[in-house]
Amino acid sequence: MLMQQVEQSVKGAVQIEGLSVSFHRQGRENRVLEEIQLGIRPGEFACLLGPSGCGKSTLLNLVAGFIKPTAGYVTVDQQPITRPGADRGFVFQQYSLLPWKTTFQNIELGLKIRGLSKPSRRELVDDYLNRVGLYKHRNSYPYQLSGGMQQRASIVRALVNSPSVLLMDEPFAALDAQTRHMMQELLLDIWEDLKTTVIFVTHDIEEAIFLGDRLYIMGVQPGHIKAELPIRLSRPRHFDDTLSTEFINLHRQVFECIREETLKSMEAG
Ligand SMILES: Nc1ncnc2c1ncn2[C@@H]1O[C@H](COP(=O)(O)OP(=O)(O)OP(=O)(O)O)[C@@H](O)[C@H]1O
């Protein structure tokens, strides 16, 4: 059990109300998201799925506070989001470790900025590094790590700061299939300890069903929440679960829902 477990479980309520975003380019308005309404409970694992360009990353960036909405708002634990903050950790698709720092130094950075003492930083970071099998690579530089190892370090870097919400934008998309499955199981293992709220963007239907408590399937033109689907598969989940009839039926249901939207966006060119 990780040290931060207890304090995590009651934080991380995300509320999105009437959220719309438009971008302007060369005098033309591009309405990307319209009237998004959703509530994610503390500790919930929510997955955002939808065709390319429907606005998944934009929605995640709004929760992160990287961009501002045209209308509506996001709150985390009743606090309106206006900018990035330590209550939200972010894991990107691209490996984003600082190349001139070791694994340990990359992970401890946020703790150092927050003023944690050296022994406390070492204890916390090493605890996580052991947990994700990276302890012996603590003094390696990012170029010496595989893609999967770098993403494990990126996840730890986000979690070590005890965020209420972990935002993940296709974090495993660049990994090979075997590594991706291992990373999914590892992420669930950690999440089941910490119960941090997770919002996870993915293209991969199997990944979303395997990980999520709830799927938000987005539609296009402009981006909106088309369907909300609770996933009631028992936990802990294992890769074999993806072969069950229940899983396959859910997959089919989600596939059909996304296919309709993909066809719409293709017809619109
Ligand atoms: N900063 C920006 N300025 C202008 N347009 C933007 C900006 N960010 C996103 N867009 C546009 O918003 C739309 C949605 O993009 P977004 O990346 O959120 O979609 P997505 O569903 O995550 O796509 P993908 O699955 O392909 O990553 C796209 O048409 C994109 O061109």
Is the predicted pLDDT of residue 146 greater than 80, yes or no? yes
Element (H, E) at 113: helix 103-113
Pocket test for ligand 1, best of 20, 22, 47, 57 (most atoms within 8 A of CB): 57
**pLDDT of amino acid 4:** 52
Mean pLDDT, rounded, for 39-61: 95
Pocket test for ligand 1, best of 19, 21, 22, 23 (most atoms within 8 A of CB): 23
Structure tokens at 167: 């935002």
Is the predicted pLDDT of residue 1 greater than 80, yes or no? no
Question: Are β-strands 197-201 and 28-40 bridged in parallel, bridged antiparallel, or unpaired?
Answer: unpaired
Mean pLDDT, rounded, for 118-124: 95
Radius of gyration of the chain (CA): 19
CA atoms within 13 A on the CB side of 42: 14
Q: 215 and 231 in contact (C-beta within 8 Å)?
A: yes
- Decide: helix, strand or coil at residue 224: strand
The residue written with tokens 């934008």 in the block is 169
Is the predicted pLDDT of residue 95 greater than 80, yes or no? no
Question: 249 pLDDT band (50/70/90 cuts)?
Answer: very high
Query: Of all residues in the chain, what percent carry a pLDDT higher than 90?
Result: 79
Q: 151 and 172 in contact (C-beta within 8 Å)?
A: yes
The full set of domains in the chain, from first to last, is 1-67+182-269 (3.40.50.300)
Q: Which atom of ligand 1 is nearest to the CA of 67?
A: 1
Tell me the average pLDDT of the chain.
92
Q: Is the peptide bond before 84 cis (omega within 30 degrees of 0)?
A: no
**pLDDT of amino acid 9:** 57
Structure tokens at 91: 């894991």
Question: 269 pLDDT band (50/70/90 cuts)?
Answer: low
250 CA to centre of ligand 1 in angstroms: 27
Question: 261 pLDDT band (50/70/90 cuts)?
Answer: confident
Distance CA 57, CA 37 (A): 16
CA dihedral 10, 87, 171, 95 (to 10 degrees): -150
ipTM of the complex model: 0.96
Q: Range with the lowest mean pLDDT among 1-10, 66-75, 92-101, 180-189?
A: 1-10
Is the predicted pLDDT of residue 39 greater than 60, yes or no? yes
**pLDDT of amino acid 6:** 45
Model pLDDT for residues 2-35, shown as the tens digit of each residue: 545 544 457 999 999 999 999 988 888 889 999 9
Atom 4, ligand 1: which residue's CA is nearest?
23
Protein residues whose CB sits closer than 6 Å to any atom of ligand 1: 23, 25, 30, 32, 50, 52-58, 203
59 CA to centre of ligand 1 in angstroms: 9
Distance CA 30, CA 21 (A): 9
DSSP string for 136-159: GGTT--GGGS-HHHHHHHHHHHHH
Q: Is the peptide bond before 222 cis (omega within 30 degrees of 0)?
A: yes
pTM: 0.93
Distance CA 21, CA 265 (A): 18
**pLDDT of amino acid 228:** 96
Query: Of all residues in the chain, what percent carry a pLDDT higher than 70?
Result: 96
